[in-house]
A and B are shown apart, each in its own frame.
Chain A
Amino acid sequence: MTSFRTLLYKETLRFWKVSVQTVAAPVLTALLYLVVFAQALEDRVRVFDGIAYTDFLVPGLVMMSVLQNAFANSSSSLVQSKMTGNIVFILLPPITYLEFFGAYVLASMLRGLIVGAGVLAVTAWFVDLRMQAPLWALAFALLGAGLLGTLGVLAGIVSDKIDQMAAFQNFVILPLTFLSGVFYSIRSLPEFWQALSHANPFFYMIDGFRYGFFGVSDFAPAASLAVVGASLAAVSSITLLLLKSGYKLRH
């Protein structure tokens, strides 16, 4: 238990020591999105009935920040440790693969949720939000952060270099989050793109999280939660198998 707690503490301390970069910067980015998009699109984009565009945008930005930062934490920590070689400090002690997995994923979730809370705190000034179903929002935030934290561990294991990991982030994670309905309701899309959006697991996380605020969503929240939960189970299984086998960590 002490091994796990120490590794969790180390992973948390690691991002907290550079919190200007890991927490403050993504909060500022989200705020810029809000200012620019809300200004440009407030009267042009129709989303849910009776909900202003800016109100609609805020939960999406919060969840996008949660997801991106959860991924960034575990993936960058692992790739950096592998590249600098200091991963041996974790590989030499008697840490089990489950403790390894748990510590990296939990620390990532923590960073995602802290950034998400920060985004919510600063954007709440611009909108009048009331959470209709806070437990749904919490459930999606937790599962979504867990899924992306796990994906980050997976990407960190598989990547040998920063640029491989950056490619994964820029060509997979970023497009999937942008096209998940953060900035629009997928109902406004042509049918083909609507159908395609349903193949994007990020859509369910954003949509479900938003349900927690408005009690309205594009997709039934229970079904969305099931999709997210199943994705988490699948990605976790693969990651745990790789960790257990020592793939790209123990040669």
Chain B
Amino acid sequence: MTLAVEQGEFFGLLGPNGAGKTTLINVIAGLARADAGSVRVMGADVSADYRRARRMLGVVPQELVFDPFFTVRETLRLQSGYFGIRANDAWIDEIMAHLDLAAKADVNMRALSGGMKRRVLVAQALVHKPPVIVLDEPTAGVDVELRQGLWQFVRRLNRDGHTIVLTTHYLEEAELHCSRIALLKAGRIAALDSTRNLLDMFSGVELRLRLDRESLPAAFPGKLVSFDKSFFVVKLEDYGQLEDALVSLRQAGVKIREMELQPPDLEEVFVRLTGRGS
């Protein structure tokens, strides 16, 4: 695959399990070696110039890993040291404040809840102020409150100029945050475009209707998905078909009791491109 993420982007890597998202991240991070090809982080080759490449990169791993021997502050100080940074306490305090970790600074990692451990992982990825931040499923198993706090912080980092690469199973998260998305399937890029374009390109509009009778006019466009509790659910190809739908109802003399439009959904794109479902 060929893929370039621009500086300052909020980029999403999506795909079903086994599509190769984590493998790709591992290659970028130097945790795995590519059989062929090359990866550069801010111009630094991850193999030939690995020291520079790794300094540019902050990775939040998918698994909830921690070292049970140390407290939160010790963990963050050690991580700073590994990146060659001494006396990093001012920045460490700032990260901890943003991630609501300050109260846990001197607590042993073992004693933290899963959500707190996840925050420490994020903090560890940021100790060296990397221009590129990779988040591998950062919200898996994380409660709603933390999820929101985490996204606020990540968006702030993105606004401050950090490039963000995100993998997630939660399509709504990708839809909400990512400006561009690559859909991976079996190690290949199945689609690569701006989130907007992907949604426009692949997804129809779902129309929910309650009428004054229990049948649709013959000329009604789109595809009937279901009829349940007097609600018709119809799939339209695009917004343009909405006009045809309304015209057909008026011509047949049908009155609309209730109407609701469901905008395009990334889930739909995902399912279609990865060939799951219908």
Contact = CB atoms under 8 A, between A and B. Distances in A.
Interface in B9-39: 26, 29-33
A96 B63 CA distance: 24
Interface stretch (A10-18, A47-55, A139-147): A10-18
Interface stretch (A27-35, A84-92, A109-117, A123-131): A84-92
B86 A2 contact: yes
Contacts of A190: none
B65 A2 contact: no
B31 A91 contact: yes
Contacts of B260: none
B51 interface: yes
Given A13-B69, A14-B69, A93 B82 contact: yes
A213 to B, nearest CB: 36
B54 interface: yes
A6 B67 contact: no
Nearest to B74: A13
Contacts of B149: none
A251 B63 contact: no
Contacts of B79: 89, 93
A86 B67 contact: yes
Contacts of A251: 26, 31-33
Contact of A7 (B30, B57, B63, B82): B82
Interface of B: 26, 29-33, 50-52, 54-55, 57, 59, 61, 63, 65-70, 74, 78-86, 124, 128
5 contacts: A2-B85, A2-B86, A7-B81, A14-B69, A86-B67
Interface of A: 1-3, 5-7, 9-10, 13-14, 17-18, 81, 84-86, 88-96, 246, 250-251
